[in-house]
Structure 1
Amino acid sequence: MLQRTSCVDNIIIKIVSFSSTVQLGDSCIINGLSSALAVQREIEFFYGNEGNMANYRVYSEPIPFLPINESFSYYRQNPNPLIKVSKIDITGIAAGSLLHVGNSRHISMEARVKHIRQLLPSS
């Protein structure tokens, strides 16, 4: 694990919702996943099968991760192993988001949202 210490004096969060996480402290692996289906209609009419996410490819298609083939070199110098923040003020954390204060080794996050808008034909 990294040898840096995170120090936050105050954290103020008004809302944490919809599978979101607030984590204080170090972690080795964080895997976050959020899937949402949003249907908007001008009139209230329900077919009954809108909630089946298997009907939409957006939830099953693999996300393409292209390999990085560029070479790079870097030099890191951490003369002070302390990251100090006086205040974090957040209005809201939602939709599978994460507030993490601390060190992480591996983080993988994914969000898939299908928006459907059904409007009446214009006359």
Structure 2
Amino acid sequence: MLTRTSNVDHLEVKQVAFSSIIQLGDSSIINGFSRALAVQREAEIFFGDEGNFPSYRIFKKPLPLPPITESMSFFRHDLNPIIKVNKLHVTAVSSSSILHVGNSRYISLEARIKHIRQLLLEGHEQDI
């Protein structure tokens, strides 16, 4: 694997969450996996079976990864083996994301989120 020195003068990150990575320097393998269930309700009614990930198909389906069949060739000549970054300001890195300064051989990131909105029937808003 190509190795270079990663030099970052200033890094400011406000928030890192949910299987996210900040990587300064080279890495061989990076795997990230995050799953979330987001329920938005107009009324605070709980049924007791919320949060059962296996009951939702999105969390069980295999991820379709088409094969890469294109051939690629390139020539690289790095006169300076340093990755130089002056300043990075990042508000947030979330849900199986990566902030990476350096080289990587293999990266696999996956985020699966099920959003559910439970709205009241029209005319029942005053019942809350």
Q: TM-score, normalised by structure 1?
A: 0.88
In structure 2, what residue type is equivalent to 1:89? Answer: H
Distance 1:70 1:19 in 2: 31
Write out per-residue CA displacement over residues 27-77 of structure 1, whole angstroms, 9 at most, x where no aligned residue: 211110000000111101011111000001101111111112223332222
In structure 1, what residue type is equivalent to 2:115? Answer: H
What SS is found at the alignment partner of 1:80? coil
Q: Establish whether residue 43 from structure 1 lines up as the match of residue 43 from structure 2.
A: yes
Distance 2:72 2:102 in 1: 26
Q: How does 1:71-82 map to 2 (within 5 A)?
A: 71-82=71-82
Unmatched segments (≥5 aa) in structure 1: none
Kindly indicate whether the alpha-carbon contact (under 8 Å) linking 2:6 and 2:24 is maintained by their aligned counterparts in 1. no
In structure 2, what residue type is equivalent to 1:15? Answer: Q
In structure 2, what residue type is equivalent to 1:70? Answer: E
Unmatched segments (≥5 aa) in structure 2: 124-128
Q: How does 1:13-92 map to 2 (within 5 A)?
A: 13-92=13-92
Q: State the aligned residue count.
A: 123
Distance 2:107 2:70 in 1: 22
What SS is found at the alignment partner of 1:75? coil
In structure 2, what residue type is equivalent to 1:30? Answer: I
The percentage of counterpart residues that share the same residue type is 59
Distance 1:106 1:69 in 2: 17
Q: Which runs of 4+ in 1 moved over 6 A?
A: none
Distance 1:68 1:28 in 2: 20
Shift in CA distance, 19/73, structure 1 to aligned 2, threshold 3 Å: closer
Partner of 2:126: none
In structure 2, what residue type is equivalent to 1:112? Answer: R
Partner of 1:116: 116
Distance 2:72 2:100 in 1: 28
Distance 1:17 1:65 in 2: 25
Distance 1:21 1:49 in 2: 31
Q: Which has the higher contact order (CA 8 A, sep 6+)?
A: 1
Distance 1:69 1:14 in 2: 39
